[in-house]
Copies of this chain bind each other. A is one copy, B any other.
Amino acid sequence: MKRTLGVCYYPEHWPMDQWAQDARDMVAAGLSWVRIGEFAWSRLEPSEGDFQFEWLDQAIETLGGAGLKIILGTPTATPPKWVLEKHPDMLAVDEQGQPRKFGSRRHYCFSHEGYKSESRRITRILAKRYGKNPHIAAWQTDNEYGCHDTTRSYSNAARVAFQDWLAQRYQSIDAMNRAWGNVFWSMEYDTFDQVDLPNLTVTEPNHPHMLAFRRFSSDQVVVFNRIQVDEIRAHSDAPIIHNYMGRVTDFDHYAVGADLDIASWDSYPIGFLSDRLEASDEHKARYLRQGDPDMQAFHHDLYRAVGKGRWWIMEQQPGPVNWAPYNPAPLNGMARLWAWEAFAHGAETVCYFRWRQAPFAQEQMHAGLKRPDGVDAPAMAECKQVADEIAQLSDVGTVSADVALIFDYHSCWAWESQPQGADFDMFRLALASYRALRRAGLSVDIISPNHAIDGYKLVLAPGLMHINDNLHQRLAEFDGLALLGPRTGLKTDELSIPIPMGPNVPMLDATVSLLESIPPNSAIALDGGGQFLHWFEHLEGQGEVVRKTRDGKPAIMRAGGLHYMAGWPDDDTYLDIVKTLCSAVEIETLNLPDGLRVRDTPSHRFYINYAPEPCEFDGVRINAADVVWVERV
Contacts and interface: CB of A to CB of B under 8 A. Distances in A.
A201 B100 contact: yes
B185 A514 contact: no
Interface string A493-515: 00011111100000000010111
Given A358-B184, A519-B288, A101 B328 contact: no
A515 B320 contact: yes
A115 to B, nearest CB: 14
B184 A362 contact: yes
A460 B627 CA distance: 45
Nearest to A524: B328
Interface string A27-55: 00000000000011111001100000000
Interface string A78-117: 1111100100000010101111111111110000000000
Number of copies: 3
A104 B361 contact: no
Interface string A185-204: 11111100010101111111
A125 to B, nearest CB: 16
Contact of A205 (B98, B104, B200, B205): B104
A202 B109 CA distance: 11
Given A100-B201, A365-B420, A421-B325, A501 B372 contact: yes
Contact of A46 (B43, B188, B501, B538): B188
A181 interface: yes
B101 A184 contact: no
B288 A522 contact: yes
A333 to B, nearest CB: 15
B422 A200 contact: no
A518 interface: yes
A516 B200 contact: no
A364 B210 CA distance: 14
Contact of A183 (B12, B326, B362): B12
Nearest to A492: B359
A501 B371 contact: yes
B203 A104 contact: yes
Contacts of A156: none
A603 interface: no
Contacts of A364: 181, 207, 418, 496-497
B363 A184 contact: yes
A75 interface: yes
A513 B361 contact: no
A96 B100 CA distance: 11
A269 interface: no
Interface in A174-227: 180-190, 194, 196, 198-209
A375 interface: yes
Nearest to A374: B499
Nearest to A78: B186
Contact of A203 (B39, B148, B180): B148
Contacts of A411: none
A150 interface: yes
Nearest to A39: B185
A405 interface: no
A521 interface: yes
Contacts of A511: 373
A284 interface: yes
Contacts of A180: 360-361
B422 A103 contact: no
A573 interface: no
Interface string A350-388: 000000011111111101000111010110000000000
Contact of A184 (B181, B319, B360, B514): B360
A327 interface: yes
B185 A517 contact: no
A438 B181 CA distance: 44
A329 interface: yes
Nearest to A207: B362
Interface string A399-440: 000000000000000000010111000000000000000000
A609 interface: no
B371 A201 contact: no
A103 to B, nearest CB: 4
Given A80-B188, A101-B202, A364-B496, 15 more contacts: A39-B186, A92-B202, A102-B196, A104-B187, A107-B201, A150-B202, A181-B361, A181-B364, A187-B361, A208-B361, A284-B519, A328-B519, A359-B498, A365-B420, A372-B499
14 contacts: A12-B183, A41-B186, A42-B187, A98-B200, A101-B199, A103-B187, A184-B358, A187-B361, A274-B519, A325-B421, A325-B422, A328-B518, A359-B496, A373-B499
The 5 A-B pairs of least Cβ separation, nearest first, read A181-B360, A184-B361, A42-B186, A359-B497, A325-B422
Interface of A: 12-13, 39-43, 46-47, 75, 78-82, 85, 92, 94, 96-107, 147-148, 150, 180-190, 194, 196, 198-209, 274, 281, 284-285, 288, 319-320, 322-323, 325-329, 357-365, 367, 371-373, 375, 377-378, 418, 420-422, 496-501, 511, 513-519, 521-522, 538
